[in-house]
Amino acid sequence: MVLPLFLLALIPICASALPTQDVLRTPSTRPLVIWHGLGDSHSSPGMLEFQSLIKDIHPGIFIHSVFIDQDLKEDQRAGFYGNVDEQIDFVALQLANITELGHGFDAIGFSQGGQFLRAYVERYNSPPIHNLVTFGSQHMGIADLPLCKPYDVLCRLAGNAARAGVYRPWAQEHLVQAQYFRDPAQLPAYLASNHFLASINNELPEARNSSYAKRLTTLEHLVLVIFAQDKTVVPKESAWFGSYAVPEDEDDEDDTIVPMKAQPLYEEDWIGLRQLDERGAVVLDSCDGEHMQMTTDCWEPLVKLYVGGTM
C-alpha cells in the first residue's frame, strides 16, 4: 500500500516526537561514597550508624563505604600501614566496578579519607564525583603526628615508627601518616622524599600534572569542613588548605598560618582550586568541637544540601 503524501510528510515529525530512553528514565537519587578516617573501618558501628542516618534523610540512596580490605581489622590497619598511592589505585578500580556508581556520585571523606578522595578526583574521577565534602581533612598535610588513645597500640606503633624517620624511604612507602607529613621547617626533605601529598598538591615543578586541575574543576562543589577546637590535626587549618609558614630561621618555631588564598598552590592554581573558588564552588564550613566530633547540627545541613541530588 502506498501512503498519501501528507502522511509520509508526517512520519519524521512523529518519529522525532517519540520519547527517548533518557526522557522515560525515572529520576533517581545520586549515590554516595564514604571514605572513613584513621583508626576506623568501612563497616564499623559508627560508620553503619552514619549511613543509616543519611538513608533517613535521603530514602533509597545507595551508599558505598570504601575499603582497602573487607576484613574490618585489616581495613583499620590499612589506615596506618600501606602505600597511599597504591591504595588510591585500588579504590579507583573498586569504584569503577560498582554498577550503581556508573553515572557519578557524591562523596564524603572523614579526616584522611578526605584528601584521599581528592586524590581520586585528580588522578581518576571515573566515575565522577559531583560534590565532595571533607571533614577535618589534612589537605596541606600535618606538621605533627596525631595523638593516640592510651590503648591504641596500632596508632602508637605507627607513630613511633614515623618519628624515627618520617622522611626516610621506608616510612614514605609504608606509613600512611608519613605520606602526608609536611613540616615547613623540613620543606626540602619533604619535597625530596614525599610521593603522595607533594604529588596531589602539584608542589614539584618538574612533575606538575595539569590534568589534576582539569579534573578537580569538574566538581560541582568542594566543601571543606574544619573542626574549631581540633587538636589532632596540626595545624587544624589544613582542613581549609592552610599551613604553617616556613620559618625564617631553622631554630624558630613559627605558628603563623598561611591561609588558602595565600598559598602558592592557590595563587598559581596548581590543582584548579583557585578556579573552583572563583566559580563559587569552594565552600568553607566549620564545626564546633574536637577532631571528628560530629554533632547533628554540624553534618546534617551539609548532607541535605550536597548529598542525594537527582541524577
The catalytic site residues sit at: 111, 230, 291
Which CA distances in Å does 226 have to 67, 74, 266, 287?
24, 28, 18, 6
Q: Which three cell numbers stand for residue 205?
A: 615543578
Half-sphere exposure of 127 (CA within 13 A, CB side): 20
Residue entry with cell 565552600: 283
Q: From CA 100, how far away is CA 87, in angstroms rounded?
A: 21
Contact 255, 244 (CB under 8 A): yes
The angle formed by the CA atoms of residues 205, 211 and 136, to the nearest 5 degrees, is 85
Place of cell 612533575: 207
Pairwise CA distance, residues 76 & 72, whole Å: 6
Q: What residues have CB less than 8 Å from 87, skipping those under 6 apart?
A: 68, 78, 116
CA torsion angle 236 284 203 254 (round to 10): -40
β-pair type (221-227, 282-287) = parallel
Taking the C-alpha atoms of residue 66 and residue 280, their distance in angstroms, rounded to an integer, is 29
- d(CA 287, CA 5) in angstroms, rounded, equals 70
Query: What are the b/e assignments for 51-65, b being 16+ CB within 10 Å?
Result: beebeeebeebbbbb
